[in-house]
Amino acid sequence: MELKPIYNFINKILCGDVKEILPQIPSNSVDLIVTSPPYADKRKNVYNTIPANKYVEWFLPIANELRRVLKDNGSFVLNIKEKAENGERHTYVIELILEMKNQGWLWVEEYIWHKKNSYPGKWPNRFRDAWERCLHFTKQKKFKMYQEAVMIPTGNWAKERLKNLSERDKMRFESRSKSGFGKNISNWLKRDKVYPTNVLYLPTECSNKNHSAAFPVALPSWFIRLFTEEGDIVLDPFIGSGTTAVASLQLNRKYIGIEIKEEYCKLAIERIKKEVKLNLFSGKA
Amino acid sequence: MELKPIYNFINKILCGDVKEILPQIPSNSVDLIVTSPPYADKRKNVYNTIPANKYVEWFLPIANELRRVLKDNGSFVLNIKEKAENGERHTYVIELILEMKNQGWLWVEEYIWHKKNSYPGKWPNRFRDAWERCLHFTKQKKFKMYQEAVMIPTGNWAKERLKNLSERDKMRFESRSKSGFGKNISNWLKRDKVYPTNVLYLPTECSNKNHSAAFPVALPSWFIRLFTEEGDIVLDPFIGSGTTAVASLQLNRKYIGIEIKEEYCKLAIERIKKEVKLNLFSGKA
DNA sequence: GTTCCGCATGAATCGATAG
DNA sequence: ACTATCGATTCATGCGGAA
């Protein structure tokens, strides 16, 4: 099949089925794939739900296409968590890991997203679920990684030093450590920063009315900074309300978003427009 | 085979091979199994290390015996983490989960132990590993669980209390209380407490006195409070330096410990003696 | 008695070197 | 080519000695 070159897809929300759109995208063309696909049996009212026991079978062909479109030195970050069913955790996620390895993916790491404010609730046999998996897959042992881009202030250093900062600086400092913005004092801190671990401690974003995005900007933002440079291409095959696109824009990366639900596509485009205006206003673009 | 009744094993450290000792323990006799088995290829200077690719095969017969000795309403908490090898996470842990389900275990939950102080190091392809799995298995859908026993202090009482602590102590206190650790937990009123999540945040106990236990007392302590009542029997088939026994004693539970290394057995017995003395001194036992 | 600083110590992992 | 061993890297913690 003759494929259109990649620049036809860049900075667009492609409204349609992943299984039809992905095959149109040329091979070895994106630097990072980061996504939070619909979880099994969740959000029934919005998506055509995928039963837990068919999840692997449904996702594997998509994973295979994703591997094709990813550059050899690129990364795939899959944010996912198995549901509990009949008093047990379902096994479709760990089965998926094994099957993706059979496809040729390397399972490099499992990052944990430790959710600061998790969904409330009480059950007799378990507590609130406060974490999700962020599975890191690659095509090769060697891949692009920019660890300095996500360094964080030292534990003790931060505590000691915060006392001497004004309230205003404190705010800036806080926002920096969470999302990576606020460059004012970043140089000043450089020597006193350390590398993070494989546990991300981030709050979920309270749903802004329309979309039920449990996927906070800070999450794709962290992986985009870690695995790409400015100008690189970030693909999210289940982009929902456009969170990954927003993160990409903020970081001067290019995005490709795929979304099947038209209402979500519209929502994403609205959010992106606002973000672009913000960038223009701040003289960024 | 004629088995001795369970009281012959209670409050003892049994020095020998798990595979020989477990079959002597009667069926349906312990309320909780909590353990941190030797990880694949780790602690080579101490244990005969189990290669990663033989790990499942090695552990499955043990898991089967554990299921036999566990009471029907009991729980099994397995603390484990896969290693990274050749740039990838190994799959033996997730394979083990699938195989244990085949044996009849229910995989109820995966708790995350978020380690505050993880092992240092820097690599081109990953960050420091700051978490471990605490896999919760049971025999039945219904099992014993005492959620109130691990509730976390919050509210005004805690705030008042915190005022009088130094900044540094406050940090420590908070990190402990986030996951429900901390010794004075019983002092809080019920209305000032909330249920924890499935993420436990606590430091490892490193370079402590004579023994260095990567398995901190607070970890078995939390699960013992959650899954047992006073007087119940707690089994640790890889008890090492006796951490699980210490936790059991502190909480007025009975322990059964198995350990293959004689030096560790001695160490465990020493620690237990000290703990018993402490309990006597405080008028507990 | 406190507080503070310096130091050794890990359930690690990768890349290079050696056989 | 494949395995075994070693050095380099890194940081929260608890201890001991000093002020």
**Which residues in chain B belong to E strands, given as ranges?**
12-15, 30-35, 70-80, 84-85, 88-89, 106-115, 131-138, 152-153, 193-194, 199-202, 233-236, 254-259
Asked if B73 reaches chain A (Cβ–Cβ under 8 Å), the answer is no
The spacing between the Cα labelled CA in A83 and the C1' in D3, in angstroms, equals 42
Q: Where are the alpha helices (DSSP H) in chain A?
A: 18-21, 55-69, 92-103, 155-162, 167-179, 186-189, 218-227, 243-250, 262-281
Which residue gives the smallest C-alpha to C1' distance to C12? Answer: B119
pLDDT at A182: 34
**Looking at this protein, which amino acid is placed at residue B20?**
E
Domain boundaries, chain A: 6-151+197-283, 153-194
CB B222 within 8 A of CB B247: no
Q: How far apart are the first and last CA of chain A?
A: 36
The spacing between the Cα labelled CA in B122 and the C1' in D7, in angstroms, equals 13
Q: Is the dihedral of CA B39, B78, B149, B195 positive or negative?
A: positive
- Paired with A199 in beta bridges are A112
- Distances in Å between the alpha carbon of B46 and those of B39, B136, B186, B271, B272? 12, 27, 38, 19, 21
pLDDT at B19: 97
Query: Does the CB of B116 sit below 7 A from strand D?
Result: yes
The pLDDT tens digits of the residues spanning B137-187 come to 999 999 999 999 999 877 555 554 544 444 444 444 554 555 555 444 445
Q: Is the pLDDT of residue A167 over 60?
A: no
Other C-beta atoms closer than 10 Å to the C-beta of B146 total: 11
Cβ contacts of B131 on chain A, cutoff 8 Å:
112, 197-199
- Do residue A145 and residue B127 have CB atoms under 8 angstroms apart? no
- Tokens representing residue A171 in the block: 């705010």
Query: Does the CB of B209 sit below 7 A from strand C?
Result: no
The spacing between the Cα labelled CA in B39 and the C1' in D4, in angstroms, equals 20
Which nucleotides of strand D are protein-proximal, with an atom < 7 A from a CB?
8-15
CATH architecture, domain defined by A6-151+197-283: 3-Layer(aba) Sandwich (3.40)
- Paired with B112 in beta bridges are B133, B199
- Do residue B94 and residue A98 have CB atoms under 8 angstroms apart? yes
Q: Is the pLDDT of residue B261 over 60?
A: yes
The pLDDT tens digits of the residues spanning A181-197 come to 333 333 344 457 899 99
Does the reported pTM lie above 0.85?
A: yes
pLDDT at A10: 98
Query: Does the CB of B124 sit below 7 A from strand C?
Result: yes
Average pLDDT over every residue of A63-89? 97
Output the average pLDDT for chain B: 87
- Do residue A87 and residue B106 have CB atoms under 8 angstroms apart? yes
CA distance B270 to B285: 18
For B181, counting Cβ atoms within 10 Å of its Cβ (0-12 exposed, 13-18 middle, 19+ buried), the class is: buried
